[in-house]
Structure 1
Amino acid sequence: MPSFTLGIMALYLNGNKIEELPFFRRVLQEADRMNIDAYLFTPEDVDDGKRRIYAHVYEEGRGWRRRWVPFPDVVFDRCRYQKTPRFRKLREFRAKYGDLIYMNRPLANKSAIHQLLHKDKDIRPNLPDTVMYKGTTALADFVRKYGIAFVKPINGTGGRGVVRIESAGKGTYSVRGRDKQRRILPTRRLSLEGVGRLLGRLGLTESCLMQQGIELTLPNGRVHDYRLLVQKTGEGRWDVTGCAGRIGAARSVTSNLHGGGKAISVDRLLKHTFPSGSKAEAVKAEMYALGLRVVERLESHFRDMCELALDLAVDRQGRVWLLEINPKPAREVFRRIGEHEVYRRAIVRPVEYAKWLYKQEK
């Protein structure tokens, strides 16, 4: 008999499509091996009157099937932000069924998270200056101060709508990036007014951030960063599951895999910048330490959390910078670099933590 029921909550996209089905299948398979009854559902699958769910279940040899199931004991929320009525349904579900055990809570937007972390003196030195975008005059001052500025949506994900702006001399600016459909924007040389018009056409004038640019270009002209995954273990404590490097596609200002980026081992990528093994190891240790400091600080404020991914940059002096927080991280990067045990651990740990959490709550 199953020990408890785990419900993985997602959102439908583009009709009734669900993203990450291969990942969800792996989670359900691992749960089954641990004698845990698990299924996938969305807030739209809920029958409020009978308190039941028309869930997606995975059956070996038969694939995905639908069946009615009771409400879960524990909910693993994998719903990524989207500006649709479906996201409102998620909020309504969590408000109505607050009696369920949730492994994680929605985080605040990027600006609020930055302000929260900025209050911590041990994290502050690792944060690029980040402020709300308030027009081209402030943007020009920002570029003058830091050399490079990024403008990005306050709730954006996956590298969508990220624009890099750099002074090109004589009152002009070199601008490139990605639109909100993740399409690469060719490099343009524009006046300040032209930059403003471009940001307007891209929908990047309201609810957007300006972030201090960190130089991340490799000798081949491509940008790079690091994805650090921190998760709760089956004992309820934080641990770094793994870290991987990412190299962006040609002409891209972001390194996201969904945008054509390439995965590479963290050690191999660090050695591009720091041939000395001791320096690379010291930088890697600082990345791991920063990851643990950040998740502990966020958990003290937001409470229920089970995993976070940190997008980190390392400048040529070896300083580690926190670029973004991802509360609903993918783990595909580890499979792509051949770290199959890390990949499996990244899938298993949420299930192990769910089991631990259920025992604590009950």
Structure 2
Amino acid sequence: MKRTKVKIQVQHAGMYSDDRVIMLSDALVKQWKIPTNTTLALRFGSAKHEVKVVPIQQAGVLRINDSIAAKWGLSTGSSLCLQYKPTSRALHIGPLIGVMISRAYSGKPDRPFGAITTFCRELDEACKLYGAAVYYVTPDDLSGQGDTVKGWHYAGRWVKRAFPLPHVIYNRLTSRKLENRSNVQQFLRHAKTQYHSALFNEKYLNKTEVFDALRKENSLQIYLPESYLLKNLQTLKSMCTKYPTVFLKPITGSLGKGIIRIKRQADNSFTCHFTNLGGVRKQSYGNLSQMCAALSGKIKQQRYQIQQGLSLISVGDRPVDFRALVQRDEQGQWSITSIVARIAGSHHFVSNLARGGTLSTVKEALARSNSTASSGGAVKLRRAAIAIAKGIETQIQGHFAELGVDLALDMQGRVWLIEVNSKPSKDDNTQLTGENKLRPSVKQLIQYSRYVAKF
């Protein structure tokens, strides 16, 4: 199989206006021994068109008829990878990437996708760099049949039009409700079974699922705090007796919402801190029984993961944790794209930026912690993040190409896993520089898409 990158030119009229004729650089035709006197298949995602190849002198160019370009959403100047498969007598252009996003605001032409519009433009720029095409589709536009889908793409402005089904589907849906809609699941089944589309980050991970899966890996036990799905008050009493601090975390929560921190005081009374939209609410209880009675209603309404509290390194009495963005690279291997430190805001015990947390480099946070426990911390964090990503790959069914792995370093220098996010926020992992350039995380997504689509 031969491959290269070509510039697309759209042929509007003239001698070869027949849509069954495409023109390709003569040097490529000769190098790849592409037959010019017979019919071949030209493929782009799920689309297929029978063509004959006419050689032209212009280097690095694929010229196609405007009717094909209109059907496939292609325009002059697009840069795409081209490959020729002699066994199937087919020319493939791509990869075509479809990104599932939660919603589009048609009344906002400059920011149709809200806060992730900038990220979507970055993906588009990265596609130009690496020879790929991308469009964005919402659940409202998906159906479980057909070989086209209506999506948005950038052509000087955001335009909505029909595209073939993609080689690669990148799931950026931000709610389980949208992800589980029947038309979304039907579309995914159809794309995977009929057109062999690769789907990655196909589902949310919940906290219980992650910890139960990773416990099966002996080498990962060292990173796992004691943690269970909270099924009854007896487990709550047992953990609160065993540890001076425990956390209750909604198993499907995000952004630090709904977390409860329970601290046992010296006189065996208990103090609970509840995160809510307005910040943190504090409540004290005289003993364990009183606290359990007060929390029993919440436990019945919401499923929690109960987790051992950790004594973390801190900066100015504010706890620090670390978000590692672990992505598959152009060879399909897990690699670390970035690790940032997140310092909790004042009066908060969670480090989420949405709750007043601040970003720092790992090196700076470790230095500012003034703790001997931070020695060698950066290396240990990287080692743990890669090992945990591999554990997710081994133990959880599904295809993941990027994971946000939240880690902590305790006062003894031990690394602990806090949680794993299969839909890591793009804002949380912004480079800590003011330069206006493509983020490495965005480039990595396109490079991996090329790999998984075999371009």
- Would you call these one fold, judging by a TM-score over 0.5? yes
Aligned-partner residue type, residue 168 of structure 2? V
Q: Which has the higher contact order (CA 8 A, sep 6+)?
A: 1
Give 1 or 2 for the bigger CA radius of gyration: 2
Aligned residue number for residue 185 of structure 1: 280
Aligned-partner residue type, residue 206 of structure 2? N
- TM, length-normalised to structure 2: 0.70
Aligned-partner residue type, residue 142 of structure 2? V
Q: Using the TM superposition, give the Cα deviation of residue 28 of structure 1 relative to its aligned residue in structure 2, in angstroms.
A: 1.8
Output aligned runs, 1:97-246, within 5 Å.
Answer: 97-99=191-193, 100-106=197-203, 108-179=205-276, 182-191=277-286, 192=288, 195-196=291-292, 199=295, 205-216=301-312, 218=314, 220-246=316-342
Moved more, 334-343 or 322-331: 334-343
Instruction: Report how many aligned residue pairs link the two structures.
Output: 353
Among all aligned residue pairs of Structure 1 and Structure 2, give the percentage whose two residues are the same amino acid.
Answer: 23
Q: Deviations over 1:246-288 (max 9, x none)?
A: 0122222210112221101101111233566xx7452211111
Alpha-carbon distance in 1 for matches of 2:416, 2:444: 26
Helix, strand or coil for the counterpart of 1:359?
coil
Aligned-partner residue type, residue 87 of structure 1? N
Q: Using the TM superposition, give the Cα deviation of residue 14 of structure 1 relative to its aligned residue in structure 2, in angstroms.
A: 10
Output aligned runs, 1:204-353, within 5 Å.
Answer: 205-216=301-312, 218=314, 220-274=316-370, 280=374, 282-301=376-395, 302-335=397-430, 337-338=432-433, 344-353=439-448
Aligned residue number for residue 134 of structure 2: 38
Aligned-partner residue type, residue 338 of structure 1? T
Alpha-carbon distance in 1 for matches of 2:245, 2:273: 12
- Alpha carbons of structure 1 residues 95 and 19: separation in structure 2 relative to 1, 3 Å: farther
Q: Deviations over 1:326-356 (max 9, x none)?
A: 1111243443622869971111101100011
Alpha-carbon distance in 1 for matches of 2:260, 2:234: 17
Q: Which has the higher helix share?
A: 1
Moved more, 216-225 or 321-330: 216-225
Q: Deviations over 1:290-345 (max 9, x none)?
A: 11111112112335221111100100110000000011112434436228699711
Decide whether the 8 Å contact of 2:179 with 2:203 is kept in 1: no
Helix, strand or coil for the counterpart of 1:157?
coil
Aligned residue number for residue 71 of structure 1: 165
- Alpha carbons of structure 1 residues 295 and 86: separation in structure 2 relative to 1, 3 Å: closer
- TM, length-normalised to structure 1: 0.87
Q: Using the TM superposition, give the Cα deviation of residue 21 of structure 1 relative to its aligned residue in structure 2, in angstroms.
A: 2.3
Alpha-carbon distance in 1 for matches of 2:131, 2:104: 30
Q: Deviations over 1:151-189 (max 9, x none)?
A: 01111112111111111354531111313xx44222221
Structure 1 position 11 matched with structure 2 position 106: no
Decide whether the 8 Å contact of 2:313 with 2:409 is kept in 1: no
Decide whether the 8 Å contact of 1:81 with 1:155 is kept in 2: no
Alpha-carbon distance in 2 for matches of 1:325, 1:148: 21
User: Where does the alignment leave 5 or more consecutive residues of structure 1 unmatched?
Assistant: none
Aligned-partner residue type, residue 190 of structure 1? Y
Alpha-carbon distance in 1 for matches of 2:320, 2:368: 11
Alpha-carbon distance in 2 for matches of 1:146, 1:14: 48
Alpha-carbon distance in 2 for matches of 1:109, 1:133: 13
Q: Deviations over 1:195-226 (max 9, x none)?
A: 44664666775421101111236363322200
Q: Deviations over 1:41-86 (max 9, x none)?
A: 12221255543222122233x3x3322222111111112343x366
Alpha-carbon distance in 1 for matches of 2:198, 2:324: 26
Q: Using the TM superposition, give the Cα deviation of residue 135 of structure 1 relative to its aligned residue in structure 2, in angstroms.
A: 3.6
Decide whether the 8 Å contact of 1:103 with 1:354 is kept in 2: no
- Alpha carbons of structure 1 residues 188 and 40: separation in structure 2 relative to 1, 3 Å: same
Decide whether the 8 Å contact of 1:331 with 1:343 is kept in 2: no
User: Where does the alignment leave 5 or more consecutive residues of structure 2 unmatched?
Assistant: 1-7, 9-79, 81-93, 107-111
